[in-house]
Amino acid sequence: MLYKKLSVKFKLLFLLTSFLFINSNAQNYIFGKVTSEDNSEMPDVTVINIRTDERTMTNRDGHFMVSGRAGDELRFVRVGYERLVKKVSGENIASPLNITLVRETILIPEVEVKQGITGDLKIDAKNLNRPKKVEKLNKDIDRYIAQKSDPRILAAKPGEFVQPKGQGFSIGKVKNKWDDIDLGSYLKTALGEEYFTDLKIDKSQIDHFIGYVLAGGFERKTILKYGFCSDADLHRFQRFVLTRISSYRAPQTQR
């Protein structure tokens, strides 16, 4: 009888220990929403679990879901906004995590303010009246430009070749304002080296990685044509990076 009681207690203890072990190692998911300072929903924000290196992006309503557990640190990144790191607590596992991103401070260069009218005739006459020689020179230039040229000056001299007038000719397509090197340099500057190091890309390999992503089919014809990369293009590049990063890290024979 004593043996049966001990056996039952041992089984209960084993089941309880197994339950606690499974519960402590269960995979949890962290849900949340990212908004701006004015409470606007923010899509295309990169969310990174620093411990697992898992990353995702917020949808058009600013919502995200990433696996994690209490104690993990989540990093939130978007171009034009200050990066934010949030440590996950037990409450964040049970209820949604609300994040607010703040715009980066843009330093405005100093503007030189020229001296204006003071009301003192002597001071204003000295500061605003140009020297007489300068005034005369400007008037002479204006008078010269207004004069009509004698057509005989531009006429061809005897024996000189004269280009015949016609409809003109095409010199081919207009070249793009940017090439891939220009675009790569802009992406590196706009996103910052920290964006790539967060992806576990060494600083010495950032240029090579950008070239690898572009060669993978990133659409950029319009960007190269006009030499302009919009915020939407930057977000599109970030999404494309997430599809290429795993193959870049793979061994060369598997790429």
What is the mean predicted confidence (pLDDT) over 160-178?
61
* pTM of structure: 0.42
Question: What is the rounded end-to-end Cα distance, in angstroms, of the chain?
Answer: 67
Query: So what's the pLDDT on residue 182?
Result: 92
Average pLDDT over residues 104-116: 64
Mean residue pLDDT of the chain comes to 78
Q: Name the pLDDT band for 137 (thresholds 50, 70, 90).
A: confident
* Residue 241 vs residue 109, higher pLDDT: 241
Q: Residue 36 pLDDT more than 70?
A: yes
Q: Is the pLDDT of residue 23 over 90?
A: no
How are beta strands 28-35 and 97-100 bridged, if at all? parallel
pLDDT at 114: 60
The DSSP annotation for 199-226 comes to TT--GGGHHHHHHHHHHTT---HHHHHH
Structure tokens at 33: 């929403």
Domains of the chain and CATH, by start: 25-100 (2.60.40.1120), 180-247 (no CATH)
> What is the structure's pLDDT at 20?
46
